[in-house]
Amino acid sequence: MPTGRANRGEWGEPYVAFHLLGSGKIYIADAEGFRNPNEWMNIIEVIRQETSDRLVKYHYKAEDTMIDITVNGTFITSVPASDFLRIANLLAAEVISSTGRSFTVSDSITDFMQRVEMLHMKAKSVEKSDIFLTVFDPRASITREHIGFSIKTKFGQNPTLFNTAKASAAKYKLSNMTARLMDEVNSLTDDRGNAAVLGRCNLLRENGCGVEYVGFQRAERAGCEAFRENLEMLNPRLPIVIQRILWNHFFGGQTETDISDVVRRIIREDPCNVSRPEIDYPYMMKAFLYAAYCGMTASTPWNGISNVNGGFITVSDSGEVLAHYALESEAFKGYLYNNCYLEFPSTSRGHGDYAKVYLENGNYYFNLNFQIRYR
């Protein structure tokens, strides 16, 4: 039975399921992330893999607006769709007005969850998908079966699109470096005892150190520069673009972190000397963001095959539910491009492992790293 205590992001999953079943449709977002009132998909079935051995299906019967519920193929009960919509609205109101990191909701919500066989707050994530839908798409007049969506809600923290790893660190060779300066750089920490990354970069520049990009960190298990090779498969120029974005932030004084802003500077600088920078660089970055969503990581060689077939379902801070359909790739890529931003994570050895001068085969090196979140 659900405990009734969870954080805002966790409450997003039951809310989406209730909203979809109550309304019977889901609108599709445009490239800017807004609802397109002329495009939607009709809900036929909502599927939640609650645990590895518990599959709950909610079948929407449009003829009488009832929801048939089965668990592992066994029929349990039928519930009016209007009950799902009523509870969805109640849940949204309670989440929006709540305070604290995690909180309980009213008994009417948790009792309803038990009534409709939602015994786990969060479904088992399968290939990045939190919920699966069978829908009728009136735009193409076809039924799309068992398409997976991850649920992203403004009720909670912005989710990560591309996770940092040791292997995602761009590697730079330093010139005019000494052992004494290395110790001085590595000793700079912030008030919390973490590496003062910008301070270390400033110290390198103040001492006239050359910073030359030489590649990305080797992925230990893969035995290669997996991230560089993955980027090159998308576009041979992408490694140069990614490392230049990092250089601009840490050494070039760029404070903006929105992807569209950092690419705007790349367009002006044109580090790859392309003939159409205003087209090529956004295209490259959209390809990278889409590949990251589809399962590409920094540590594992990627075969280019997507492990998702749906996209995002987003919940706004007012409770609006929209589908960002990955199969409509141009609009979806545009949404990622306009809503993703850089973040610079922990420099610890077990996490990003960067911003430290080190000696390797007689040369000094320095790594920069990142991750990407989306709004």
Q: What is the pLDDT along the chain (375 residues), one digit of tens a residue?
A: 455 578 877 888 999 999 999 999 999 988 777 898 999 999 999 999 988 899 999 999 989 999 999 999 999 999 999 999 999 999 999 988 888 778 889 999 999 999 999 988 777 666 567 899 999 989 888 999 999 888 888 776 677 889 999 999 999 999 999 999 999 999 999 988 889 999 999 999 999 999 999 999 999 999 999 999 999 999 999 999 999 999 999 999 999 999 999 999 999 999 999 999 999 999 999 999 999 988 899 999 999 877 667 788 888 888 899 998 876 678 889 889 999 999 998 898 878 889 999 999 999 999 999 999 987
pLDDT at 160: 84
- 10 Å Cβ neighbour count for 311? 24
The token pair that represents 329 in the structure block: 């790739």
pTM score: 0.78
The predicted structure's pLDDT at residue 57: 97
Beta strand spans in 119-240 (E): 131-137, 142-153, 160-162, 170-175, 210-216
Give the per-residue pLDDT at 3: 52
Scanning the structure block, which residue is given the tokens 């404070």? 255
CA–CA separation, 100 and 63 (whole Å): 42
pLDDT of residue 43: 97
The one-letter amino acid code at 269 reads: E
User: Are 328 and 315 spatial neighbours (Cβ–Cβ below 8 Å)?
Assistant: no
- Residue 281 pLDDT: 98
Alpha carbon of residue 304 to chain centroid: 18
The pLDDT value given to residue 32: 76
Partner residues linked to 363 by β-bridges: 360
Helix (H, G, I), strand (E, B) or coil at 118: coil
d(CA 375, CA 366): 30
Angle at 291 between CA 315 and CA 158, to 5 degrees: 30
Nearest to 165 by CA among 30, 346, 333, 309: 346
3-state secondary structure of 315: strand
Task: Provide the 3-class DSSP secondary structure of residue 250.
Answer: helix
Query: What is the Cα–Cα distance from 92 to 115, expressed in whole angstroms?
Result: 19
